[in-house]
């Protein structure tokens, strides 16, 4: 008798025919060559003449982390530039003008941060995006990317994560070490890169926190998290059990029956003897 297999969950992307863009608003803004800031639930995209010049997300380390975590740039140098700037993009341009670090290294880190935060900014959202027209964002010396390129890369990354491990539950919640189930083979060995992630799994840290501590792109950390989950090393932490309802004493009932009131007075008098 043949075994019955359960098909994997459907890939969380739209059909090609319907997927003109991950964000119809973003596509329209690109077509009209808009300049401003698109605010979405999980991140922000800065546009200049319809191109993405910068991206930010609370789920992804910023450019400062990627530059300073591994010695590419001294933290003090970034702090000086940030103190003189109106934002991370301007600070990066000040560093570029000052020749503090090689142009190629800064441009590469800028694109890494842009695609990383952009991936989360374009995640499915439960709230509509809002666009604020603004003349401040501009096409500066750092590279920008077309909207279609960011969306294409975002879809590629979604597909990669799905193929590694189709369950996204561990992407955004605290992670715990997973004990091998009884009767199963030992979990697969881990690479040194995965070991750095695994060593920080403590039931409290999320993938985003681990990425910041390691100074790595959040998406690359998710790749390690999905691989570790597929190998049986980690799992999403179980949701906390709801706190038990506090005991609320019943309100004191005032007895109006004269016979019962008399008996209570007699009881109190006997107890006082």
The number of folded domains in the chain is 2
Question: Looking at the structure, do residues 138 and 210 belong to the same domain, yes or no?
Answer: no
Task: Indicate if 221 and 106 belong to the same structural domain.
Answer: no
Question: 118 and 45 in contact (C-beta within 8 Å)?
Answer: yes
Residue 21 in contact with residue 27, Cβ under 8 Å? yes
Of 44-53, 173-182, 208-217, minimum mean pLDDT range: 173-182
Q: Which residue has the tokens 């715990």?
A: 176
User: pLDDT band for position 35 (50/70/90)?
Assistant: very high
> Which of the pair, 248 or 230, is modelled with greater confidence?
230
Determine, yes or no, domain membership for 7. Answer: no
Q: Considering the domain boundaries, does residue 263 fall inside one?
A: no
Share of the chain above pLDDT 90, in %: 63
| 3-class state of residue 110 by DSSP | helix
> Are the beta carbons of 173 and 206 closer than 8 angstroms?
yes
**How, if at all, do strands 234-236 and 51-56 pair?**
unpaired
My answer on whether 28 and 149 are in the same domain is yes
Number of neighbours of residue 142 by Cβ within 10 angstroms: 19
pLDDT in tens, 115-146: 999 999 999 988 999 999 987 777 888 999 99
Q: Which residue has the higher pLDDT, 268 or 238?
A: 238
**The predicted structure's pLDDT at residue 115:** 98
Judge whether 8 lies within some domain: no
Task: Please check whether residues 158 and 175 belong to one and the same domain.
Answer: no
Which tops the pLDDT comparison, 67 or 258? Answer: 67
Angle at 5 between CA 2 and CA 7, to 5 degrees: 150
For residues 148 and 198, state if they share a domain: no
What is the DSSP annotation of 122-159?
A: TS--SS--EEEE-S-----SS--EEHHHHHHHHHHHHH
Domain assignment of residue 197, yes or no:
yes
User: 100 pLDDT band (50/70/90 cuts)?
Assistant: confident
Same domain, 150 and 210: no
What is the pTM (predicted TM-score) of this model? 0.79
With respect to residue 265, please indicate whether it lies within any of the assigned structural domains: no
Domain that residue 131 falls in: 24-163
Residue 45, domain member (yes or no): yes
């Amino acid at each position: 008798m043949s075994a019955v297999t359960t098909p994997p969950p459907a890939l969380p992307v739209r059909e090609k025919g319907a997927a003109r863009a991950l964000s119809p608003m973003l596509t329209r803004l690109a077509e009209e060559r808009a300049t401003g800031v698109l605010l979405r639930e999980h991140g922000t995209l800065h546009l200049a003449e319809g191109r993405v010049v910068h991206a930010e997300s609370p789920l992804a380390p910023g450019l400062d982390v990627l530059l300073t975590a591994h010695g590419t740039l001294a933290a003090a140098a970034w702090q000086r530039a940030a103190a003189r700037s109106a934002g991370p993009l301007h600070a990066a341009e000040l560093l570029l003008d000052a020749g503090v670090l090689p142009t190629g290294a800064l441009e590469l880190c800028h694109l890494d941060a842009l695609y990383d935060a952009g991936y989360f900014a374009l995640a499915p959202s439960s709230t509509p995006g809002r666009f604020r027209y603004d003349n401040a964002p501009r096409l500066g010396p750092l590279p920008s990317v077309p909207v279609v390129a960011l969306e294409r890369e975002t879809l590629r990354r979604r597909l990669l994560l799905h193929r590694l491990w189709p369950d996204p539950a561990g992407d955004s919640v605290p992670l715990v070490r997973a004990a091998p189930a009884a009767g199963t083979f030992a979990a697969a060995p881990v690479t040194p890169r995965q070991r750095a992630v695994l060593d920080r799994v403590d039931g409290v840290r999320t993938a985003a926190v681990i990425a910041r501590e390691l100074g790595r792109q959040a998406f690359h950390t998710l790749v390690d998290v999905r691989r570790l989950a597929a190998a049986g090393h980690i799992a999403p932490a179980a949701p906390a059990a709801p706190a038990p309802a506090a005991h609320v004493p019943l309100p004191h009932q005032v007895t109006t029956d004269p016979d019962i009131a008399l008996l209570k007075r007699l009881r109190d008098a006997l107890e006082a003897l």
